[in-house]
Amino acid sequence: MSSVIEKYHDLEAVILEYMPSANIERIRAAFEYARKSHGTQLRKQGTEYITHPLAAAEIVAEIGMDEDSICAALLHDCIEDTVATHEDIEKLFGKDVATLVEGVTKLTQVTYTSVEEEQMENMRKMLFAMAKDIRVILIKLADRLHNVRTLQYVSEIKQRETALETMEMYAPIAHRLGMQRIKWELEDLSIKYLDPVAVNDIVKELDQRHIEDEAFLNTVQSRLTERLGEYGISCQVSGRVKHIYSIYRKMFSEKKLLSEILDLHAFRVIVNDIADCYNVLGHIHELYRPIPGCFKDYIGTPKPNMYQSLHTNVIGSEGVPFEVQIRTWDMHQTAEYGIAAHWKYKEGKGGKVADEEKFAWVRRLLESQQDADAQEFMHALKIDMFADEVFVFTPRGDVINLPVGSTPIDFAYSIHSEVGNSMTGAMVNGRLVPYAHILNNGDIVSIQTSKSAKGPNRDWLDIIKSPEARNKIRQWFKKEKREENVMHGKLAFESELRHAKIPLADALREEVLSKVLTRASFGALDEMYAAIGYGGISAQKVVNRVREELRSAAKLKKDELPLEEIPEPKINNSAKHYHGVVVEGLDNCLVKFARCCTPIPGDAIVGFITRGYGVSVHRQDCHNYIASLNDPDETERWIRVSWVDTGDSLYSTTIEVQIVDRTGIVVDVASALNTLKVKISSFNARPATAGMTLITIVVEVKNRDELISAMAKIMSISGVSDVRRADG
């Protein structure tokens, strides 16, 4: 009990240090209310639950947030996990605090059809609240940071799920808001649970070279401090080794050992004004040789998240390259705390005085994706908020930021819908380029338009990168080409049905079609065809829903049969089954699954009588089985085996995924399996051919159908070139 009170006093100390005028009585009341509401609830590690809201509130205080934010952080789990209501909190602590707590609270009263849909709706709700008040996401980041700090107390599955969601959602949000300190910690903590072996290797090697690294950092730091002091430049110089995740990502993307990473060290010089930034840059380039093409001026061209610094890479006298970042103290505050450093409130009123345009991107995202389904929304979210960006210029010198890989079409639609719809050509750096041309940093882009233009082409949807452009093109087709959309959609739907081997008559049965249309919010069949035609929903997704309804109808029909009419399953009653397998002619024998082909229910299988280890079950397409058929001594040892009802049992099998190297693709693959609730037992990546990586994944599934769904999901990821079952 005393430790909780001590932690609360620590929180008060942090608050009073930067906000002496804070109403401590009100904050203490929020703490007492939260503690009483959570009552006897405990955290996984056995401590009082209130220790979590306390920790979240301290993180909120450390980034300098206002009194309402601290109260909301203390109360943030009350609506979700206790009997407290929005009205109770509003009555006691005011409307602003209650709204913040509501914004952080998950949608717990809704039933979802998939994990991805649940994740999407909670994220969408939080972003809507964030668009109105940025403090919602800052409190949520504090909540998530403390949860990740204490992941060691939860199960391995929960560790992996939370770490993956953090890497996919919360770390990129922190980056988008410019909150680098929180982003780095979220990434470093999460990667420990996603790839513990690789992280342990990195930490071990860093520990071994710690003395050498410290000596290098101290030498450069002393030399810079001495040189700048000689010229009367007031500054603070610090050096560090790159963060664990930064090293991990570089090693993986460039296929390098830690000893082969050249820019392992980074230095920061903080000065009083902008003029000194450029002055320091000159001194550094005199002391050390700059590496051509590695200078970036984020002061003249700030990042969208408000980050400003000068970056330069140089080679030290020892021949070791390193990076130097130069910024003012104000820029440093923004770099560390991002939007929180700029988000101020009127004393005692909670009124916003920050620049609303800084959050316009959130509103644009929500407006463009308001009709999207779960999968599309999450995809757009990752690109629009989290993807690496490219900075290009209009002919007038305005900076436009787009996702990496964007084309002139993306640029045109970022200017205005009409510019994109009337586009007839594009010039980059004064040269005519094709529509599929990939834009690079610093390009000057000019769009040619015509009033007589026919509008966008459907092929553009295959080459554009930004969700904003995709949505605007779809809206044009939705408005201008309804009859054409219906025709295209009908053809695509029927083609997908043929591919899925579902008769059209079955799909259009009244009891099936009505449920499909209702689930997808369509009033009529033509509306669905039109949506498929303009890209509002995929034909594959609709057919998957048709398949689900047909299965439900078949199951319902079977359940309605009188007991005596239900056919008895044909099972060999003379043999016992082990692990869901019946061995013909043998009873009470040991059954194991061959590691070379890892069979699962649904596979065609065959058994091999081993010497002393029972029957080994193989897939019939296993290369060991096929090869042994030419050996007379082994042929007689193969016997028939078959699957019986395996219930909800899980079976291990191995898949191999060949990917094109790109940042984030490994996390995308893991995320796809996580979305389908497929348990991952092992996940390893190794270089294959030039520019390619082979990922070997051991998964646990119920049957072949579940595995095929997972493999199809992975195959749909951009950059995945092949997915196959491992065989030997």
Residue 446 host element (H or E):
strand 445-449
Q: What 3-state class would DSSP assign to 678?
A: coil
Q: Which of 12, 62, 80, 494 is catalytic?
A: 80
DSSP per-residue string spanning 344-397: -B-TTT--B-S-GGGGHHHHHHHHHTTT--HHHHHHHHIIIIIS-EEEEE-TT-
What separation, in Å, do the N-terminal and C-terminal C-alpha atoms of the chain show?
A: 57
pLDDT above 90: percentage of residues in the chain: 22
| Residue 635: how many other CB atoms lie within 10 Å | 10
Q: In DSSP terms, which residues pair with 721 in a beta bridge?
A: none
- What the block records as the tokens of 64 is 């300098």
- Between β-strands 615-619 and 591-593, what pairing exists: parallel, antiparallel or unpaired? parallel
Tens of pLDDT, residue by residue over 117-145, are 566 666 666 666 666 777 888 899 999 99
What's the CA gap between 473 and 477, in Å, rounded?
Answer: 6
What's the CA gap between 543 and 498, in Å, rounded?
Answer: 10
What's the mean pLDDT when you consider all of the chain?
80
Residue with tokens 């990129």: 172
Tens of pLDDT, residue by residue over 10-53, are 999 999 998 999 999 999 999 999 999 998 888 888 889 999 99
Whether residue 4 contacts residue 74, with contact meaning beta carbons closer than 8 Å, is answered with no
Is 483 known to be catalytic? no
Out of 257-266, 574-583, 634-643, pick the least confident.
Answer: 574-583
Whether residue 687 contacts residue 181, with contact meaning beta carbons closer than 8 Å, is answered with no
Distance from CA of residue 298 to its chain's centroid? Answer: 26
pLDDT at 1: 47
pLDDT at 221: 93
Tens of pLDDT, residue by residue over 525-565, are 888 888 887 777 778 888 888 888 887 776 555 555 444 44
Is 336 known to be catalytic? no
Helix axes 86-93, 24-38, angle to 10 degrees: 160
Eight-state DSSP code of residue 105:
S
Tens of pLDDT, residue by residue over 351-398, are 343 444 555 555 555 555 455 555 555 555 555 555 567 778 888 877
- What the block records as the tokens of 567 is 């056919």
What's the CA gap between 325 and 305, in Å, rounded?
Answer: 17
Whether residue 150 contacts residue 43, with contact meaning beta carbons closer than 8 Å, is answered with yes
pLDDT at 353: 38
Residue 280 host element (H or E):
helix 274-287
pLDDT at 23: 93
pLDDT at 557: 55
Please give the biggest Cα pair distance in the chain: 98
Whether residue 672 contacts residue 116, with contact meaning beta carbons closer than 8 Å, is answered with no
Eight-state DSSP code of residue 167:
I
Tens of pLDDT, residue by residue over 430-486, are 899 888 899 987 788 999 988 888 888 877 887 888 877 887 887 787 777 777 778
Out of 88-102, 415-429, 488-502, pick the least confident.
Answer: 488-502
Residue 180 host element (H or E):
helix 180-194
Q: Which of 25, 67, 77, 81 is catalytic?
A: 81
Tens of pLDDT, residue by residue over 265-294, are 899 999 999 999 999 999 999 999 998 878
What's the CA gap between 156 and 153, in Å, rounded?
Answer: 9
Helix axes 665-675, 115-132, angle to 10 degrees: 110
pLDDT at 264: 85
In 497-640, the DSSP E strands lie at 577-578, 581-583, 591-593, 605-609, 615-619, 638-639
